[in-house]
Every structure is written in structure tokens, then in C-alpha cells.
A and B are shown apart, each in its own frame.
Chain A
Amino acid sequence: MTSEVADTASAIAADVRTGKRTAAAVLDAHLAAIDAREGEIHAFNLVMSDDARAAAGAVDAAVAGGRDPGPLAGVPVALKDNMCTRGVPTTCSSRILDGWRPPYDATVVERLRAAGAVFVGKTNLDEFAMGSSTENSAFGPTRNPHDTSRVPGGSSGGSAAAVAAGFASVALGSDTGGSIRQPAALCGVVGVKPTYGVVSRYGLVAFASSLDQIGPFATTVADAALVVEVIGGHDPADSTSIPRPAPAITATLRDGVEGLRVGRITDLPEGADPDVLARIDAAFDALCDAGAKVVDVECPAFTYGLTAYYLIAPAEASSNLARYDGVRYGLRVPAADTNAMYMATRESGFGDEVKRRIMLGTYALSAGYYDAYYGKALKVRRLIADDFARAYQHADVLLTPASPTVAFPIGEKTDNPLAMYLCDTYTIPANLSGDPGMTVPFGTGADGLPVGVQVLAPTLGEPTMFRVAQALEDAMQGGRG
């Protein structure tokens, strides 16, 4: 289970800023937790002990010198290994990036560092974030800290596991179709996908550019809010970044849900397990008890999202991953001529799932097939955005399961890509519409494993979404879940 080190980022930062604890001591406790359990969990591709010690020392020196290191002073943070860190290997859990060290930091890395965060390591993921179990990693799977025979979810499984195991106080993941929210549910932590454009993608290795969004994992809703406030806000280096400051979430976090309309989707596709659905019902009840109103809404987006997603995301991926050609960086497998070198490099460097999606996407964009596949998927995407807009006329937020099931056994779905894809049925639509969504742990289901509730809100509806999440967390902690 989760380690005793699991104190919150807010508490750590408050202690470090006031000199009650040193960043070095906080880091040591987390490194000790890593030493104790990383061997069985494999959350990290790289533990950055030395860099982390130097960073913690700098934070402590700042405090000693009377300077404020920032709102995340001394907070140990894990980074999904698809975010660029200057001079530190960034692998995307793929052999094709073998040996590559980025010459620059992602914007989120710069912002976290400027806020006093201490990076403890780069976490494992499904190769190039393609997967729902972290089993598609070239470096082996990550295991769920709640039951190491099971997956942590994915693709940000390493980050979710790191927070759940107390290896880091918070972690960053990326969410293209549910890659933060689904592993958060399976690992029993909070996970947030902000509105598309709230967090800069500069330095996030692209999977599907129009869907990718960075967000936090945390043990509390308040910590997740704090991280979004630090990493969010306009970045001129990302043209799709929304030209506004980060949303102010913390200020209204505890304003309650009195009078809020919480939508129950009447046409939600079947497939969720009864133990999961029972917890969603309990969540509706808890919110009612807190003064919210439950309203029934239709939202066909959930029925059509998956198919549109599996054309759009692979199409963009096929183009985004074309640059891994062995010419400039990463793996190069020598061959007789350039074309043969491309093929040998990509054949050897990419795993099966990545190859599958590159082929799917290439096909969907091909002359003669574009209109029937990619073009049609774009139209469905437009309709999905309309579906949500209509639903949000009647409801302030929507509540669904984050995952149809609790954590499943390692190996259960690896031979069945379609079964794996269905893991993301409830999370994908918000990526297509660009709206925010987050997972809040809400008790346990089968085998005592965590169940997560997904709270969805309209574009830039983060403050309301977080209020609802906070109400659910309060209900659980007050024994009202």
C-alpha cells in the first residue's frame, strides 16, 4: 500500500518555506521509499538522485538566504519520461530514442523548477504514450503499488504508481485519450487533464498534438490544483496555448457544490463493471448530500468517441513519429542506403503497438482513404464537441467512471488491442472536445482495488470541476462515501 511518506505537496512546501523541514530531508524520505519498493514496482526509467540532491540543496540554500523558493519549495516531483529535461535522457520508453539527451527543458519543467520543485526521476510509460497499461514499454512494465500482479493503467502508469507508492509527492503525466485519468483511477490517486491549451506542450514529445495535454497526479485535490496553477498559463512557445493566465482554482476550491447541477449521462455505453458503477452511484449520492442536484443528460459523444479517436490520434502520430528516422539523433541501424537505414532503424526501434498505430494513421491519411477515415473522424469530432456543449447547457459538470474496471492483471489484455482500447471509452471524449476532466479516488471495488470517479467540465471550467472533486474527497475523508 501507499507509503507513510505520502504527505502532501502543500504541507511539504509550507514546511520547507518556513524552515520547519529541509528539502534535503524531504527528498531523503522519498528516496528511501524508492529504495524500498522501486525494485518491485518499476515506476521509473531513471531515478535522478544526484540532480535531486543538488536541487534540494539549492532550495534549502535559498530558504537559509531569506529567499522564497516558490509554492512548490522542496516538493519531490516525478516526470513522465516523454517530457524533455536538459541533459537528462528522455526516452518515451522507446528504444528509438536510445542515447538522446534533449538540449532543452520542457516549459512545464522550467515552471516547476522555478517554483522550487525537486525532480526525483523520469517515469515509465507505454511507448510514446500509446497504451493503457504501461505494458508497452521497451523497458518492461510498471506494477500497481496496490497489487503488484496488476497494471497501474497507462500510459502514464509510472507517474501514477510513483505518487501512489510515495516515491514522489506529485507527478506529471500526459493525457491524449485518458493517459492521466485512467491510471489515476487504477492507482487510487488524483489525476487531472486540464483544458487543451491551459498547459504548454512545448517539450512534451508529441503523440497526437491536437489531443495531448499535460497534467498532474497528486494525493489530494488541493495539491493537483496547486500544480495546475504552477504549470498552467500562456506560453508563447506553444501556438496552441490559450493566451490567458493559469486558471485560479485554489481560491474557490472549498466553495462547495450547493446548487451545482451534476450530469448523469443516460446514454453512456455499457461495459463498466458493477463494482465500479456502484461507486459512481455513491458519488452522485455524496454530491446530493452536499447540496448538488443530479440531472439526466444525453451525450452520444461517449458512444462515438472511441472510433473517431482511433483514426485521429494514429493519423497525427504517424506524422509526429516520422522524424525518428536515424538521421539526427537516437537509434540508427546502419544499412546499405538511406531508405534501408530508415526501415531497419524504425523496424528495430519501435514496439508493436507503435508500429500498429503508425500503420493505422498512415492508412487513414492516404490518398483515396482520407475522406472515408480521417475526414469523417474530424466531422465526428466536431459533433462530439457539439454534444458536450449541449450537455453543459443542462449540467455544470458530468460524472462518469474514469475506467470501466479496477486494475487488471498484467498480461490480461496484451494480446487483444481492442480490449485494451476500450479502457479509454469514458476518457477519450474530453480529449476530442478539448474540455477538462479529472479523476478523484472514491473508495474501492473488486478485490479492494481503487475506483476513480471522473469529473468532466466545459472548456476552462477547472474551478468548478475542482470544487466538485474536492467535495468528493471531503465526503470520502468524512466517511460519507
Chain B
Amino acid sequence: MSAEVDMIAASAASAYGTWELVVGLEVHTELATATKLFSASPNRFGDEPNTNIDPVTLGLPGALPVLNRHAVELAMRIGLALNCRIQACSFHRKNYFYPDMPKAYQISQYDVPLNIDGWLDLPDGTRLGIERAHLEEDTGKSTHVGGVGGRIHGSGGSLIDFNRAGVPLVEIVGRPDIRTSEQARQYVNELRAILVAVGASDAKMEEGSMRVDANVSVHRPGEPFGTRCEIKNLNSVRSLGRAIDFEARRQIDLIEAGERVRQETRHWDEGDGTTHTLRSKEDADDYRYFLEPDLVPLVPDEAWIESVRAALPMLPAARRTRLAQATGAAADGEAIAVVVERGQDDYVLAVAAAGGDPARALVHVKEAYAEQGSLPAVPAADLAALTTMETGGQLTATQAKQVLADLVADGGGDPVAIAGAKGFEAMDAATLETLVDDAVAANAGAWAKFQGGEDKAIGALVGAVMKASRGQADGGAVTALLRARRG
């Protein structure tokens, strides 16, 4: 977490004043299956419109759904990664008319979902409840042409692409445990990391493969929760934070002005940074849920659940802890977060296993491996050799950086040879002593101030040594020598 984000969070928290914010997030994520939830058409983003379709996808008369086993498995992975209980469950029909909804009902899960009662821990240890994570099918995609703001109302016509219709989704319903917009952002980031880690989804908010709706309310601590509004059209983690803060302020202002918050669905407008009424509770559809008679109950047996559990990879939180323990860095610090998110933690551990210094390896990977992905080209042994040279005082930090840049650019190499080619030679103690002697003699004024207790005067002395050594002296060693000499 950067300092900037910290400040935003702090200012938002104080902006709530005596009010407490309550947020629950509903996250829809598209599953990374080869085919759709109930048919054999490909589940693929970006294809020519209406090419990944079939009688089931189009809801043609007589077509029937058949549940995709792999989708169930991915949904179970999500449930297990979120510490949910997996249960025997069923599918319902959610009935409403919309042109991109081919059957005029969505097959979803209603009172008995696949995954219930789990939780997600934020990197700082805050535990946020998960109510449920259920399977459902996506709708098609409408493009309204000739209207205002891409809405159906007032548009001249609509184009419908059914490629997305029937794509498997898992809706993850969080409990209203979030208290700041920063927590909401962290929740989504952590959830996304988990979804990617378990291979359930690519979870890209910008492509719509992960969609977040926020239920926001405010109340005074100790009093019942306030009336909530659901905010839609949140296309990035940044929008999510902005929208929550705006909505909290809007509701607080309403209440403080003696008005009431109306329960409604609101649309986030990225352009003007505000939320607008989409529809009020009174306009809500009656979905007439009933058990989907074309499907049978889904009853995952223990053996199946356990095989899915056994195949789960290590989750981001555990990987952060593991890397923190190996490197001595803070588990909720930036370096650990960045390296684990890039999937480079195994690499750092491999550097350590090859005899390298884990702490230095972590910093190098974080700083220099942004473009390297989870399988960096530089052999772990090469980076290990570099950190060993640093530890042994054979390279200064500045020199190490230059050698590292070459390693990354060339996809590996022998750091000793690279350092040699660059003329980076280890400076023995006697040479360093001589350089320090010269620097003290040549900068008598600075030396006097330093001796007199003016610590910052050491800068000029170190600088002189570095200059004389053409940057090859180890700044730390020079500082240590000067301090020792002062006594």
C-alpha cells in the first residue's frame, strides 16, 4: 500500500465524521472454462459477434441445458479458496424480459447456493465475511445505437451479441463487513488475486470478466444499519473507491439535511464522479424465482470436493507469509505484495535455495523484474551469485544495480564476469583507508564539523571518497570507517 493510498483512505475515513460506512460487495466473475455453463459453445471473449452460439445459448424452443462439470469445479475452487462450505444445491429460474436474455429467464442459484459461509482475509489481517458464491449464466451483450450514454431508452436501435450469453459466472456475495473505501479496494484486489491463483478466472475488470456492485449505507455506530443503495457500473478498483466515497458523502448529506435515503440502484458516472438513480426499489422486477425443472439437483460428493481441495494451489496470503518469512520483509509490505502478485515469489525462493541472499533477491526482483512475469529468464543461480557478491562486499549497491540490469537485459550471465568487464573491482580495506585519509585531509572543515557532532557533514566526506573511487567504493563501508574514526 503506497503512502498516497494511505492518505486517501485516511481522508475518506475522516470525511465520514461521526458516521460509520457499511459496504457489502457483490462480485461477478466469469469462469475460465472452455465452453459455456449449459452448452458446448466456446466461452471466448472478443470473437466475431454471434459466432459462439447454439440452440441452448439462443434459448431456441426445445433446447435444454446440461450443466458444465468444469464450471462446477472452478466454482468449487473459488468456494474452497474463500473458506466456504460446499453443499448439495439446486438451480432456479430468475424471470425477466430483456432483449439480450434469450430465454427471458436467467438460470441462477437462489435459496440453496453451491458455496456458503466463507471469509477472505485482507493482507493486514482484517477478516471479511463471504455469504455465498453461486453459479449462474451470463446474459448476451446489447449495444444501443443512436441514443444517449449507451442506454436502451431513447436509442434508435439495439445490436445484440449472444456470444456472452450462457458464459458461466460465479457471483460472490460479501457480507456487509467493509468499513472504508480502502478496505473495499483491498477486498477486490485480494479476491482478484485469489481468482487468478486458483485458475478460476482472469478476473479483468476492464474486460468485464470481473464486475463489482457495491451496496453502500451509513449509520451512527451502535445504531442499526442505514438504508442501502446498490451502485453499478464500477469498471475499475479506482472507480469503486471513488464511488463509495461519493455515495457515503451523498447519504450523509441527505440525512444531515433531515432527508431520508431511498433504497435504490444507482449508476456510477466515471465522467462527473457522481452516482445517479437507475431504478428505485418500487420499480424492481418481481423475478418469480422457481426451481429450474430442466436441471436436476447438484450434489458434489465428498470425494469430489476433497480432490478439488487437494488440487488447490497455494493462495496469495499463504504465499505472502511464506515469502515474508524467507526474506524477513513485512508480510503486508509493498515488496511482498508486488512480487507475489507477479507470481515471482517461487523465483525469489529459488534464488535463496541457490545460496543467494533472500532479502537482496526480493528487492532486486521487485525493482528490476516488472516485465519478467512469473517465470523470469534470468537463472536463479545467476541472481544468487550477484547477491553473494554484494554480501561479500565485492560490489556496491550502485554496481550491483548495473550488473543486474545487464543480467535482465541478457536473460542471465555470470555476475563476476559482468562486474569484471565493467571494471568493478573489489576495493580492499587498505585502499579504502587511504581514500578516507585523503578525503579527511582535503575536507578539513567538514571533518571538523563532523567531529563536532554535526552528523550531516559526513555527506561531503563520503561524497569525496566516492568521487575519488569513481563510484566504486561501498558507501556503507565508508560511512562505517568515518564513524569509527570519529570514535
State whether these chains interact: yes
What is A's interface to B at a CB cutoff of 8 Å?
83-84, 90, 92, 97, 100, 102-104, 106, 201-206, 208-210, 236-240, 315-316, 318-319, 322-323, 325, 327-329, 338-339, 342, 362, 365-367, 370, 374
What is B's interface to A at a CB cutoff of 8 Å?
55, 58-67, 93, 95, 97, 99, 102-105, 152, 158, 160, 286, 288-290, 293-296
Q: Are A322 and B97 in contact (CB under 8 A)?
A: yes
Q: Are A367 and B59 in contact (CB under 8 A)?
A: no
Q: Are B294 and A209 in contact (CB under 8 A)?
A: yes
Chain A residues contacting B67 (CB-CB under 8 Å) are: 239
Q: Are A90 and B64 in contact (CB under 8 A)?
A: no
Q: Are A322 and B296 in contact (CB under 8 A)?
A: no
Q: Are A325 and B104 in contact (CB under 8 A)?
A: yes
Q: How far is the CA of A106 from the CA of B55 in the complex (A)?
A: 11
Distance in angstroms from A250 CB to nearest chain B CB is 29
Find the A residue at minimum CB distance from B100: A327
Q: Are A202 and B103 in contact (CB under 8 A)?
A: no
Distance in angstroms from A443 CB to nearest chain B CB is 37
Q: How far is the CA of A347 from the CA of B102 in the complex (A)?
A: 19
Distance in angstroms from A293 CB to nearest chain B CB is 37
A206, A208, A365: the one within 8 Å of B61 (CB): A206
Of all A-B residue pairs in the complex, the 9 with the closest CB atoms, nearest first, are A322-B104, A210-B293, A365-B288, A209-B293, A205-B61, A203-B62, A84-B62, A367-B286, A323-B59
Find the A residue at minimum CB distance from B162: A328
Q: Are A239 and B158 in contact (CB under 8 A)?
A: no
Find the B residue at minimum CB distance from A328: B58
Chain B residues contacting A210 (CB-CB under 8 Å) are: 293
Find the A residue at minimum CB distance from B142: A338
Chain B residues contacting A238 (CB-CB under 8 Å) are: 64, 66
Given known contacts A240-B293, A338-B99, A362-B288, A103 and B62 CB-to-CB distance under 8 angstroms: no
| Interchain residue pairs with CB less than 8 A apart (9) | A92-B61, A103-B55, A238-B66, A322-B97, A322-B105, A323-B103, A365-B95, A366-B286, A370-B288
Q: How far is the CA of A290 from the CA of B66 in the complex (A)?
A: 46
Q: Are A366 and B102 in contact (CB under 8 A)?
A: no
Chain A residues contacting B152 (CB-CB under 8 Å) are: 338
Chain B residues contacting A208 (CB-CB under 8 Å) are: 293
Find the B residue at minimum CB distance from A210: B293
Q: How far is the CA of A120 from the CA of B243 in the complex (A)?
A: 64
Given known contacts A240-B296, A319-B95, A319-B290, A102 and B66 CB-to-CB distance under 8 angstroms: no
Q: Other CB < 8 Å A-B pairs besides A240-B295, A316-B290, 8 of them?
A: A238-B66, A239-B64, A239-B295, A318-B95, A322-B105, A328-B102, A362-B288, A370-B290
Chain B residues contacting A237 (CB-CB under 8 Å) are: 64, 66
Q: Are B288 and A366 in contact (CB under 8 A)?
A: yes
Q: How far is the CA of A92 from the CA of B67 in the complex (A)?
A: 27
Given known contacts A319-B288, A323-B59, A323-B61, A239 and B93 CB-to-CB distance under 8 angstroms: no
Q: Are B62 and A206 in contact (CB under 8 A)?
A: yes
Distance in angstroms from A231 CB to nearest chain B CB is 15
B60, B62, B160, B288: the one within 8 Å of A327 (CB): B160
Chain B residues contacting A323 (CB-CB under 8 Å) are: 59, 61, 102-104
Most central of A204, A209, A327, A362 by chain B CB within 10 Å: A327
Q: How far is the CA of A209 from the CA of B292 in the complex (A)?
A: 9
Find the A residue at minimum CB distance from B96: A322
Q: Is the interface of B mostly helix, strand, loop or mixed?
A: loop
Chain B residues contacting A83 (CB-CB under 8 Å) are: 62
Chain A residues contacting B64 (CB-CB under 8 Å) are: 201-202, 237-239
Q: Are B294 and A239 in contact (CB under 8 A)?
A: yes
Q: How far is the CA of A210 from the CA of B158 in the complex (A)?
A: 35
Q: Are B105 and A325 in contact (CB under 8 A)?
A: no
Q: How far is the CA of A103 from the CA of B295 in the complex (A)?
A: 23
Q: Are B286 and A239 in contact (CB under 8 A)?
A: no
Given known contacts A319-B95, A323-B103, A327-B160, A239 and B296 CB-to-CB distance under 8 angstroms: yes
Q: Are A342 and B62 in contact (CB under 8 A)?
A: no
Q: How far is the CA of A323 from the CA of B96 in the complex (A)?
A: 10
Distance in angstroms from A241 CB to nearest chain B CB is 9
A92, A102, A367, A370: the one within 8 Å of B60 (CB): A102
Find the B residue at minimum CB distance from A367: B286
Q: How far is the CA of A201 from the CA of B63 in the complex (A)?
A: 9
Find the A residue at minimum CB distance from B99: A327
Q: Are A239 and B99 in contact (CB under 8 A)?
A: no
Q: Are A240 and B294 in contact (CB under 8 A)?
A: yes
Q: How far is the CA of A62 from the CA of B244 in the complex (A)?
A: 72
Chain B residues contacting A366 (CB-CB under 8 Å) are: 286, 288
Chain A residues contacting B61 (CB-CB under 8 Å) are: 84, 90, 92, 97, 100, 102, 205-206, 323
Q: How far is the CA of A237 from the CA of B101 in the complex (A)?
A: 21
Given known contacts A210-B293, A240-B293, A240-B296, A204 and B62 CB-to-CB distance under 8 angstroms: yes
Q: How far is the CA of A15 from the CA of B158 in the complex (A)?
A: 58
Q: How far is the CA of A240 from the CA of B294 in the complex (A)?
A: 6
Chain A residues contacting B288 (CB-CB under 8 Å) are: 318-319, 362, 365-367, 370
Chain A residues contacting B295 (CB-CB under 8 Å) are: 239-240
Given known contacts A102-B60, A209-B293, A239 and B55 CB-to-CB distance under 8 angstroms: no
Distance in angstroms from B124 CB to nearest chain A CB is 41
Chain A residues contacting B60 (CB-CB under 8 Å) are: 84, 102-104, 329
Chain B residues contacting A201 (CB-CB under 8 Å) are: 62, 64
Distance in angstroms from A248 CB to nearest chain B CB is 25
Chain B residues contacting A209 (CB-CB under 8 Å) are: 293-294
Q: Are B97 and A325 in contact (CB under 8 A)?
A: yes
Chain B residues contacting A106 (CB-CB under 8 Å) are: 62
Find the A residue at minimum CB distance from B153: A337
Most central of A102, A238, A319 by chain B CB within 10 Å: A319
Distance in angstroms from A97 CB to nearest chain B CB is 7
Most central of A90, A202, A315, A342 by chain B CB within 10 Å: A202
Q: Are A239 and B104 in contact (CB under 8 A)?
A: no
Q: How far is the CA of A100 from the CA of B58 in the complex (A)?
A: 13
Q: How far is the CA of A130 from the CA of B62 in the complex (A)?
A: 16
Distance in angstroms from A112 CB to nearest chain B CB is 15
Chain B residues contacting A92 (CB-CB under 8 Å) are: 61
Q: How far is the CA of A102 from the CA of B54 in the complex (A)?
A: 11
Distance in angstroms from B106 CB to nearest chain A CB is 11
Chain A residues contacting B286 (CB-CB under 8 Å) are: 366-367
Q: How far is the CA of A328 from the CA of B61 in the complex (A)?
A: 11
Chain A residues contacting B97 (CB-CB under 8 Å) are: 322, 325, 339, 342
Q: How far is the CA of A240 from the CA of B296 in the complex (A)?
A: 6
Chain A residues contacting B93 (CB-CB under 8 Å) are: 319
Q: How far is the CA of A103 from the CA of B290 in the complex (A)?
A: 29
Chain B residues contacting A100 (CB-CB under 8 Å) are: 61
Q: Are B62 and A205 in contact (CB under 8 A)?
A: yes
Given known contacts A319-B105, A322-B95, A325-B104, A338 and B158 CB-to-CB distance under 8 angstroms: yes
Q: Are B62 and A239 in contact (CB under 8 A)?
A: no
Q: How far is the CA of A205 from the CA of B93 in the complex (A)?
A: 17
Distance in angstroms from B59 CB to nearest chain A CB is 5
Distance in angstroms from A14 CB to nearest chain B CB is 33
Chain B residues contacting A318 (CB-CB under 8 Å) are: 95, 288
Distance in angstroms from B62 CB to nearest chain A CB is 4
Q: Are A365 and B62 in contact (CB under 8 A)?
A: no
Find the A residue at minimum CB distance from B39: A237
Chain B residues contacting A90 (CB-CB under 8 Å) are: 61-62
Q: How far is the CA of A370 from the CA of B111 in the complex (A)?
A: 14
Q: How far is the CA of A392 from the CA of B286 in the complex (A)?
A: 41
Given known contacts A319-B288, A325-B104, A338-B158, A202 and B62 CB-to-CB distance under 8 angstroms: yes
Find the B residue at minimum CB distance from A104: B55
Most central of B61, B65, B99 by chain A CB within 10 Å: B61
Q: How far is the CA of A205 from the CA of B64 in the complex (A)?
A: 10
Q: How far is the CA of A328 from the CA of B104 in the complex (A)?
A: 12
Distance in angstroms from A469 CB to nearest chain B CB is 29
Q: How far is the CA of A206 from the CA of B64 in the complex (A)?
A: 9
Q: How far is the CA of A471 from the CA of B286 in the complex (A)?
A: 53
Chain A residues contacting B102 (CB-CB under 8 Å) are: 323, 328
Distance in angstroms from B481 CB to nearest chain A CB is 79
Chain B residues contacting A203 (CB-CB under 8 Å) are: 62-63
Q: How far is the CA of A370 from the CA of B59 in the complex (A)?
A: 25
